[in-house]
């Protein structure tokens, strides 16, 4: 695919499927959807998957799907959780690229465009980006700057990939999906992809805003640490020595990250 040098928009545009799971997200989902609609890269489809919300999430999503034919709302007949909901969205995706966006996060307007350029320039399978952390009211807290490349061993030590920042080749998803039996199902998913040999590179700049809200699972640091250790030992089958080393690095990096909040 070629990029128009004047506009920065691709002359031949592959379809990007954006997967947005949502559960009781009426407070923030409009901002998330609007950040997709504002993308400078326009050949996308947005699949909003409502997981049996009990608030007005589905009604707000339906307003957007009525407004823009690129947006489709799906409603789960019963609550199945975020991992299975993401898997359902990936199975429905029609694009050659898949992006994930949580219903309370926000993309910068050039996120998809810059990541597709990075994909073209590097040939990588996974493109990710730096992001800002914000509070529940959208106030900036800190920035998380990612390294240019990330390997399996890197990811063991520091959680660089996150759902709202990645762009994936859809071809790699036919043999991989989110696990449903783990607390950090997304982290296990990224480890599996990297361990399988897929390459991950960063696109330049901060391109997403990650919202930290009351009740976020990531705020439960003690439980996160416990489950990270279980992932090292029970899923990744790391030796005790290596588990200790990478856990120490994980704890240090987490301390630095949350110290800025």
- pLDDT of amino acid 253: 80
Q: Which residues of the chain have pLDDT under 50?
A: 1-11, 216-217, 219
* Residue range 139-170, pLDDT digits in tens: 999 999 999 999 999 999 999 999 999 999 99
The 10 Å CB-count burial string (b at 16+, else e) for 138-156 is eeebeebebeeebebebbb
- pLDDT of amino acid 255: 62
- pLDDT of amino acid 85: 97
* Residue range 90-108, pLDDT digits in tens: 999 999 999 999 999 999 9
- pLDDT of amino acid 180: 82
pTM: 0.90
Tell me which of 3.90.1150.220, 3.40.50.720, 3.90.550.10, 3.30.30.10 is the CATH number of domain 16-216.
Answer: 3.90.550.10
For the chain, the domains span: 16-216
């Amino acid at each position: 695919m070629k990029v128009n040098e004047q506009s920065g928009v691709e002359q031949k545009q592959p379809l990007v499927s954006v997967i947005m799971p949502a559960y009781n997200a009426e407070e923030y989902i409009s901002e998330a959807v609007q950040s997709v609609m504002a993308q400078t890269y326009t050949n996308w489809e947005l699949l909003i998957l409502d997981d049996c919300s009990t608030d007005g999430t589905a009604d707000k999503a339906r307003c957007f799907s009525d407004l823009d034919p690129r947006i489709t709302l799906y409603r789960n007949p019963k609550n199945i959780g975020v991992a299975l909901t993401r898997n359902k969205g990936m199975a429905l995706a029609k694009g050659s690229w898949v992006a994930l966006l949580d219903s309370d996060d926000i993309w910068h307007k050039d996120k998809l465009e810059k990541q597709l350029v990075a994909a073209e320039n590097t040939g990588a399978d996974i493109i990710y980006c730096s992001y800002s952390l914000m509070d529940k009211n959208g106030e900036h807290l800190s920035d998380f700057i990612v390294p240019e490349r990330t390997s399996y061993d890197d990811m063991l030590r520091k959680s660089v990939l996150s759902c709202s920042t990645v762009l994936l080749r859809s071809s790699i998803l036919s043999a991989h999906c989110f696990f449903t039996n783990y607390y950090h199902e997304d982290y296990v998913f990224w480890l599996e992809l990297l361990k399988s040999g897929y390459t991950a590179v960063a696109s330049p700049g901060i391109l997403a805003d990650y919202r930290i809200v009351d009740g976020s699972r990531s705020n439960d640091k003690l439980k996160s640490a416990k489950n990270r250790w279980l992932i090292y030992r029970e899923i990744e089958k790391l030796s005790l020595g290596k588990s200790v080393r990478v856990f120490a690095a994980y704890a240090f990096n987490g301390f630095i990250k949350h110290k800025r909040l």
